[in-house]
Structure formats: structure tokens, C-alpha cells
Amino acid sequence: MSKEHAMRTRLIHGDKHEMNPFGSLQMPIFQTSTYQFESTKQGADRFAGKEPGYIYARLGSPSTTQIEEKLAILENTECAVATSSGMGAISSGTIPFLQKGDRLVADKALYGCTFELFSQQLPKWGIDVEFIDFADLSAVRKALRKKTKMTYCETIANPTMKVVDLEKICKIAHEKNPDCICVVDNTFATGLICKPHDLGADIVVHSATKYLNGHGDIIAGFVCCDSKYYPAVLTNGLKNITGSVPAPLNAFLLNRGLKTLPLRMKAHCENAMKVAKWLEENKDIEAVYYPGLKSHPQYKIAKKELAMTGGMIAFEPKTAKIAEKMMNNVKLCTLAVSLGDCETLIEHPGSMTHSTYTEEEMIDAGFNKKLIRLSVGLEDPDDIIADLDQALKAALKK
């Protein structure tokens, strides 16, 4: 597709190939583990990288090529690598570039499993990891040294909804060390709301399980980068370290989800704004964290950096007990982890997605046991609000 076409057009059509010889409207599912060679020379040339083509499904297939090309379009990178999960993407996009003695500086507020990988696993391999508040640029300047090999943060932080100034952070990192690799998890922002690569990030990772797929029926991930980093992500990260290869059916379903992403994200954001305003006006809710509200601590950065305000909200009732009771009393909303689905999902980070944090680490990262995370779905927003209202009233009853 031409770059002159709109993003919603390019996400539907992608790039056209001769991989579909029978002319079906949808790309077929290539349910095969290996690929036939015409000769031993062709096989040798493909293994040597002298000839393009498929070898073995762990190294790529037509099923994954179509979605990888669309993600590169979405994130404005030269390349993308599809993985079987978000953690597969995070591992494949970071570990190949780190070795004993290297230093990683990461934001304090991260997805729980990312935090565990960085805080518990990387130090075992001799990698120095420091967690700081990326919203504090003076702390960023202090932490980034010449030997810092990598920085890592999230566009919209999980679960605090913090928004950091990616452009300034990447600039500081590259000034301190031109070889520093800035990695950004863009799961909440999808590439439609923010393009971290355009702001200076070197590698962008996604849990495609969430908004990119949008239907709660697969697990997948992506690493988006330029050709400089692509061989290490594909060969070392995906092929040799994680083996995190998406199944052909999952790739097919993800391609389906990408076609409606712009329409879904617009609705998610509109619904979330209406729900966030209702929460903010409710006297029984102490705090609401949503990038679209003027009360958000980084509202000005969000206005500059985000094309839309997102579908994720975090909020705090007056006590942790009320929070628990409220979640136990929802009827329309679904008490479940994950996010980005058509259904509204509600969960408790402190005991679920972020239970890898100690209570002290939670407070240090900016959240507590009162915090509720809400993934606003595609239902009528008035119905979502009515359900939250009745659940809160039930929770407040003695």
C-alpha cells in the first residue's frame, strides 16, 4: 500500500504479496512447520541469507509476515517481529542486547511480569538494573551514565497511567551514550495514540493480546524496530532465546483484529473519557488517573504526546476494602485481568497483575492496594457507568 493512504486503510490491506495464489480475500492460514526447497543450493542460500524465502516456521511464515508488515506500518519502523506473547516480545526485544556488566535503567511503574524479569532475573545474569521515576527528568539525567546500555518504560504506565516525556528521555539517553537502546512498551497506546519510534525510541514492544487483537481470544506480541536491531531480535531473541513463535491461527486472528483497530480505539477512548469524568465527579472516589483529565499529573505531556487519551483508567475508592467489594459486585463489567477487549474488564493490580511488587515497591512506583484498573470496553458508556455506580453503592453498604 502507498504511504499516501490513511492508516485505517493500510491496516486493512497491508502490503500485497504473491503468497496467496488462489485469490482468497483473506490470507490463508499457513499451517505448516517447515518449507520445501527446490534444491539443496536454495536451502543453503536461504540459510545463508543470500536468498529470501521461508525455511522453518520459527524463523517466519506468510502468516506472520502479514502482521509484522502491518505493525511496522503502524509504528513507523523498518521491521517488526511477531511473538507468541507480550512477555515473549519484551524478552526478545531486550535480552539479546544485554550481557554481564551492562546497565539497564527502567521506570518504577511497569507491568508486573516485566518488573519481575528486570528485578529478579536480569541481576542473576550480572546485569545491573536500576528503577527510577521517569517522570522526574532530573532523576533520569542522574541515573543515565555512559555505560547505560538500555532504558525501558511504558508509554502509558501500567497500572498508574503515568505518561512520561518520551522525546526528552530518549534524547537524554542518546546524549549520554549514543549506543544506549531506548525500549518502550506501547501496549496501552497501540501505535495509533503514540508512536514512540518517532519520538526517539529504538525498539517498541507490544502485548498484541490486548488492543491490537481486541477480542480476548489469543495471546501474541510484537517487537518493532529498524533493520539495525532486527537480526538480533529475530535470530537471538526469537529463534535462540525465547522460541516465542505465534501459531498460524493466532496470526490469522490478529490480522483480523488489526483491520478494526482504528475504529475500536476511537470508541474505547470516547467511552473511557465519559467514564473517567463520571468517576472524577463521584464523591466516593478519592482519585482518578486518566491521561484525558486535566487533573492528571502529566496532562500537558499527554496532550503533546498522545493523539487520543486511551481506554485505560485507574482509580481509588476511599479504602482497599471498598475497592475489593466494588469489584466483587460488578455485573456488566467482568472481573478479569488483561485489557483492550470489547468487554469492560476490571481488576486489582495489587493482588493480581502487579502482585510481583512488594507493598513498599508498589508505594514507590505510585500505586497501592486501593487502586482499581479499568479497561473500558465497547459497551454503551452509560451502561458501564450504571454498573460501576451500583457496584460502588453495594460496596459502601455496611
On the question of a cis peptide bond just before residue 159, with omega within 30 degrees of 0, the verdict is yes
Mean pLDDT, all residues of the chain: 95
Measure the N-to-C terminal CA separation of the chain; round to a whole number of Å.
Answer: 60
pLDDT-derived band at 22, boundaries 50, 70, 90: confident
- CA dist 247 and 84 (Å) reads 7
Strand-strand pairing, 148-154 and 103-107? parallel
Q: Under 8 Å CB-to-CB from 234, ≥6 apart: which residues?
A: 59, 60, 81
376 SS3 class = coil
**What whole-number distance in Å separates Cα of residue 143 and Cα of residue 86?**
27
Share of the chain above pLDDT 90, in %: 89
* pLDDT of 240 over the 90 cut: yes
Q: Kind and range of the H or E element at 203? A: strand 203-207
Q: Which candidate, 261, 256, 253, 231, places its Cα nearest to that of 60?
A: 231
- Per mean pLDDT, which of 21-35, 137-151, 157-171 is the most reliable? 157-171
Q: Grid cell 509484522 — which residue?
A: 68
What is the pLDDT confidence band of residue 146, given thresholds at 50, 70 and 90?
A: confident
User: Beta-strand (E) ranges in 273-363?
Assistant: 285-289, 312-317, 334-335, 345-347
Cite the residue boundaries of each domain of the chain with CATH code 3.90.1150.10.
261-396
DSSP structure class, residue 369: T
- Whether 398 shows a pLDDT value over 70: the answer reads no
pLDDT digits (tens, 9 = 90+) for 84-135: 999 999 999 999 999 999 999 999 999 999 999 999 999 999 999 999 999 9
- The SS3 call for residue 286 is strand
Q: Beta-carbon neighbour count of residue 25 at 10 Å?
A: 5
Give the whole-angstrom CA distance, residue 163 versus residue 242.
30
> What confidence category does residue 206 fall into, taking pLDDT thresholds of 50, 70 and 90?
very high
Average the pLDDT over 185-202 and give the result. Answer: 98
Helix H or strand E segment including 71 = helix 62-75
The ranges of the chain annotated as CATH 3.40.640.10 are 7-30+61-259
CA nearest to 348, candidates 380, 379, 326, 376: 326
pLDDT at residue 26, rounded to an integer: 83
Give helix 320-328 / helix 381-396 axis angle, nearest 10°.
130
Mean pLDDT of 206-229: 98
| pLDDT higher than threshold 90 for residue 320 | yes
What's the gap between Cα 235 and its chain centre? 22
For 30-43, what is the mean pLDDT?
95
Q: pLDDT at residue 344 above 90?
A: yes
**1 band by pLDDT with thresholds 50, 70 and 90:** low
Q: Judge whether 242 and 92 are in contact, CB under 8 Å.
A: yes
Q: How far is CA 98 from CA 118, 122, 237, 344, in A?
A: 11, 9, 11, 38
Topology of domain 7-30+61-259 in CATH is Aspartate Aminotransferase; domain 2 (3.40.640)
DSSP 259-276: HTHHHHHHHHHHHHHHHH
pLDDT of residue 211: 98
Lowest mean pLDDT among 183-197, 220-234, 347-361: 347-361
What's residue 18's pLDDT? 67
Beta-carbon count within 10 A of 37 CB = 17
User: Could you name the CATH architecture of 261-396?
Assistant: Alpha-Beta Complex (3.90)
Encode burial over 296-333: b for 16+ CB neighbours within 10 A, e otherwise.
bebbebbeebbebbbbbbbbbbeebebbbbbbebbebb
pLDDT at site 248: 95
pLDDT of residue 2: 63
pLDDT tens track for 10-20: 888 887 666 67
pLDDT, one tens digit per residue, over 245-270 is 999 999 999 999 999 999 999 999 99
Distance CA 271, CA 381 (A): 5
Task: Round to whole Å and give the CA distance between 365 and 107.
Answer: 8
Q: Residue 201: is its pLDDT beyond 80?
A: yes
Residue with cell 458508556: 381
Q: pLDDT band for 142, please (50, 70, 90 cuts).
A: very high
Mean pLDDT of 158-178: 96
The closest alpha carbon to 223, from 256, 200, 196, belongs to 196
- Positions marked catalytic: 58, 111, 185, 210
Phi, psi values for residue 393, rounded to 5°: -65, -40
**pLDDT tens per residue, range 60-75:** 999 999 999 999 999 9
Position 328 confidence tier, pLDDT thresholds 50, 70, 90: very high
